[in-house]
């Protein structure tokens, strides 16, 4: 019995190590709750809400394929699901965090949406600043 308990604990620890840092949505929601009022414009610098080191942040629309993402990143992406918007943070030649948001047409949108005109956009810690707008359960970040 102790063997199974130890195995479950190890599997839980390994799965929780998949992403470094707090969930992006949770960090952003926390920032909004503490710093943004409903009557004024709110701005967030992503480097101020992430609790991991990164150099470049890529925002990809769901129109970007895995092959295109890997070509843009110059490295493999270990986790990929079709038809999702995503953000990928890198440091050097390593993906340090990534998050995907899936559109479910049968329910209101949730999570985070980046309002960008291109299929993908690249930011650094110095220019990853966005206006914040909350639409029900969806947080919209625009330049």
Q: Is residue 5 part of a domain?
A: no
Q: Is residue 136 part of a domain?
A: yes
Phi, psi of 75 (to 5 degrees): -160, 170
Phi, psi of 5 (to 5 degrees): -65, -45
Q: Is residue 68 part of a domain?
A: yes
Domain range for 115 is 20-142
Tell me what pLDDT residue 82 has. 78
Tokens of 95: 């993906």
How many structural domains does the chain have? 1
Tell me what pLDDT residue 21 has. 53
Contact (CB, 8 A) for 132 and 105 = no
Q: Is residue 1 part of a domain?
A: no
Assign 111 to helix, strand or coil: strand
Residue for token pair 């329910």: 107
Q: What is the pLDDT along the chain (143 residues), one digit of tens a residue?
A: 443 333 333 223 333 333 445 799 999 999 998 998 876 789 999 999 999 999 999 999 999 999 999 999 999 988 877 778 999 999 999 999 999 998 888 988 888 999 998 999 999 999 999 999 888 888 999 99
Q: Is residue 108 part of a domain?
A: yes
Tell me what pLDDT residue 12 has. 31
């Amino acid at each position: 019995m102790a063997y199974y308990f130890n195995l479950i604990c190890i599997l839980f620890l390994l799965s929780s190590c998949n992403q470094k840092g707090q969930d992006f949505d949770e960090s952003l929601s926390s920032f909004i709750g503490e710093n943004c009022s409903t009557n004024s414009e709110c701005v967030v610098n992503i480097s101020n809400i992430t609790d991991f080191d990164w150099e470049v942040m890529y925002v990809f629309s769901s129109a970007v394929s895995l092959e295109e993402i890997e070509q843009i990143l110059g490295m493999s992406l270990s986790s990929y699901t079709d038809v999702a918007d995503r953000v990928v943070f890198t440091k050097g030649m390593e993906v340090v965090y990534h998050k995907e948001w899936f559109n479910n047409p049968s329910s209101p949108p949730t999570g985070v949406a980046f309002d960008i005109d291109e299929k993908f956009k690249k930011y650094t810690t110095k220019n990853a600043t966005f206006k914040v707008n909350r639409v029900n359960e969806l947080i919209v970040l625009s330049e």
